[in-house]
Amino acid sequence: MSALRTPGLARFVAARPSRALTLARAGWRLRRAHWWRHAPFVPVPDERYWEFRRATAFGSQGSPTPRDLLDAAEWSLRQPRGRGVQR
């Protein structure tokens, strides 16, 4: 199974359609740099980066639940980004 797949995510989003935009916006932040230059031509995170993020959060055998992904997405969108961010 690909590290980018989360079992039950489609069912979770279908039950909470208002959260689909939150997940999409957070996913957009994780996209590969210059994703349009390399196949597959979709804005998804690099597999190695996603595996690193998953392993640091859930251990070598764990995987996120759809609720975990939503919580992380909401947290991510509350964080400032870019250069010159005042702290």
pLDDT tens per residue across span 33-84:
888 998 888 888 888 888 888 888 888 878 888 999 899 889 989 988 765 5
Q: Does residue 18 come out as left (phi exceeding 0), alpha (psi in the -120 to 50 range) or beta?
A: alpha
Please check whether residue 60 lies inside any domain of the structure.
yes
Task: Name every residue whose Cβ is closer than 8 Å to that of residue 61 and which is 6 or more positions away in sequence.
Answer: none
The single residue listed with the structure tokens 């979709």 is 42
**Position 32, amino acid:** R
47: domain range?
A: 42-76
Q: What is the count of structural domains for the chain?
A: 1
Residue 22 has pLDDT above 90, yes or no: yes
Does 31 map to a domain? Answer: no
Q: What is the pTM of this model?
A: 0.71
Q: Is the model more confident about 44 or about 15?
A: 15
Q: Is residue 82 part of a domain?
A: no
Q: What is the mean pLDDT of residues 3-19?
A: 84
